[in-house]
Amino acid sequence: MAKKPTTHNDAAKPTAKVTPSDITGTDIGGESPQKASPVPNDAVLSLSFAEPQGSGGETRQIAGDEVATLTTQQGIPIADNQNTLKQGVRGPALLEDSHFREKMFHFDHERIPERVVHARGYGAHGFFELTDSLADVSRADIFQRIGERTPAFVRFSTVAGSKGSSDLARDVRGFAVKLYTQEGNWDLVGNNIPVFFIQDAIKFPDLVHAAKPEPDRDFPQAQTAHDNFWDFISLTPESFHMIMWTMSDRAIPRSLRTMEGFGVHTFRLVDAEGKSTFVKFHWKPKQGLQSVVWNEAVKINGADPDFHRRDLWEAINGGDFPEWELGVQLFNDAFADSFDFDVLDATKLIPEELIPVRIVGRLVLDRVVDNFFAETEQVAFCTQNVPPGIDFSNDPLLQGRNFSYLDTQIKRLGSPNFTHIPINAPKCPMAHFQQDGHMAMRNPAGRVNYEPNSWGATLGGPREDPVRGFTSFAESADGPKQRVRSESFADHYSQARQFFVSQTPIEQKHIGDALVFELSKVERPDIRSRTVSHLLNIDAMLAATVASGLGLALPDPAVAARKPISDLPASDRLSIVKNGPQSFKGRKLGILLSDGADAAVFRALLKAVDAEGAVYEVIAPKIAGVTLSDGVTVAAKHKIDGGPSVLFDAVAILLSTEGGELLSGDAAAKDFATDAFAHCKYLGFSAEAQPIFVKAGLVGDLDEACLPLTKAADAKAFIEACRSLRYWPRELKVDLDAATVA
């Protein structure tokens, strides 16, 4: 029996014990805290088996409601989760407290190493449906049966920032798709840009080191606007095609739903006879392409650093499932030999005008994750995961990725058994002799753990299958061992120029603006000058624009390893503006309201938004909302200083006379209007909003994309105008740098 405390300090203190029934909590609905009910002595216990990711194996009924019993990871029920085990009421903690040790051990190890690149990611579940068979060129099971659906998981990500960085950094976006095919997982690990910075994987550590925060100061975070990155780029001419893409609006997408995806590399499709066809993979968003402008991106990062995450979460949960079409560019050796560039060079693309994209399927995301860590954070993609019928080319960047990814996943997830984690496990039958290691959950059963063996078909375990099994394309190779870059990789500027001339004038302006901004953050003038020397090999006007923006004398052009081709035709498919959405569907309207706003116009606006398949959010002076002209109260989603116009694709300002006078003196309300105008958005307004425009200095500048909402009939026309998304002519009138655009 425990000895009664006799020390002066112990005896002098209250000795009340905290028990589970003393703990209060707030339910999910946000109601007032209520004291938990004590567990009755005759509580009914009922056992149930938990799912692998369940929260507990026992349930019990309390006051008629079934609740789970808290247990240890070993399934042992816990009686007290509020107090450590002590010797006496105030005595020392005891080493035998296994529950405390397990709880703290797990907490201490909750964080796994974040990805070196692509740390900031967000994922969702869905399916891939085949719409056009590729059985003529590939024996891959996923490409055989039209209409068949394959489970999928997609993870989108930024590249340079840490896990806690913002969504709207100027950056490449990862677009990684895991398809759980009937012949094993296929990981198509790509980006939203079809080319890459480097041609050989041996340069990847240098690229990432240069792009990441500088090691002595550990900043800037999630930015390439610093000396190290541009020093590396200016000494690596092969990067300049990718630089054109990352300095374009492609690097600041409006939504994860409005990005293209690319497999980047050239792969092979292999048919049943072993014949190979080269292939490049494309994901085409059914939502159309759309990006934001840089000033808008900066402000979104401040207003909502989770902007892309929230958008995807809300769209899927709202039933607006994002969809992409899978397209393939198929070509043979004859085309590869005749193409101006090497198809194994990851800094090059094949224009769709030369080889059209054949649509063969669709990818739909229709379910968010149940647990971010278990799924999005622990998902492991490996480029070498391809099923029979898909194979690799000799692209040296792809070959290096095939080596690196497996090593990376073992480091991050701590064990070669990361495929035992449900998100990574195939959904088809598996059989192998791999065993043990950390967290082994599926060791082979039985006596035999090796092959070949003589135990027969029943006891001997799995055997290889020469017919169904994966076989590599029988490509011949010869030549000396050497470290060399192929001469066919030597053209670094021609496609960079082709991309630039394929952009509309406003997109070309944005590329110039981005280069000026990034290089203005570079401290060393020689790095700025060296970068401009490469731009001269791409486009003389672009180089002059950047040099002028930096106050820099034009340098001599950089020496080109191979003379650029200056007459490659423009490709419309490379422009965002030319491939935008055709409706306002899936977009968001921000409606700034005040008390007394016209109820008829407001309701007509909601009707038009709903008919278009868009969504809306109300912004008001107070989060409690407003009372409209008919006395009806409308709740607000945002208070005015917490719901800036950068969060919306278009805005409407509906005010009463008193509301207009009140908000004209509010800085946030003025910013709401001026930012929407500066970012070239469509803007609807009631006449009572005029005082805001006057105070903001916009009255004389309002243009044809600023539409009056004076009566209910105006709402439909306004939403139809919003289908254009942006009114780009406005930027050329209000931007100091617009004069540099040809």
Q: What is the dihedral of CA 228, 232, 235, 240, to 10 degrees?
A: -120
Taking CA atoms, 699 is separated from 652, 692, 728, in Å, by: 16, 9, 19
d(CA 450, CA 452): 6
Taking CA atoms, 569 is separated from 343, 351, 489, 494, 498, in Å, by: 18, 9, 20, 11, 7
Q: Given the residues 99, 118, 226, 241, select the one marked as catalytic.
A: 118
| Helix axis angle, 204-211 to 396-413, nearest 10° | 60
Q: Known catalytic residue: 41?
A: no
**Strand-strand pairing, 34-35 and 633-634:** unpaired
**Strand-strand pairing, 358-368 and 44-47:** unpaired
Give the torsion sign (CA, 541, 542, 547, 553). Answer: negative
Residues 6+ apart with CB under 8 A from 136: 271
68 DSSP β-pair partners: 59
Q: What is the dihedral of CA 122, 124, 127, 131, to 10 degrees?
A: -40
Q: Which pair of structure tokens corresponds to residue 209? A: 């080191």
Beta strands in 369-518 (DSSP E): 390-392
CA atoms within 13 A on the CB side of 279: 25
Amino acid at 453: N
SS3 326: strand
Q: Known catalytic residue: 191?
A: yes
SS3 657: helix
Burial of 348 from C-beta contacts in 10 A (0-12 / 13-18 / 19+): buried
Q: Given the residues 99, 125, 191, 265, select the one marked as catalytic.
A: 191
Please give the positions annotated as active site.
Answer: 118, 191
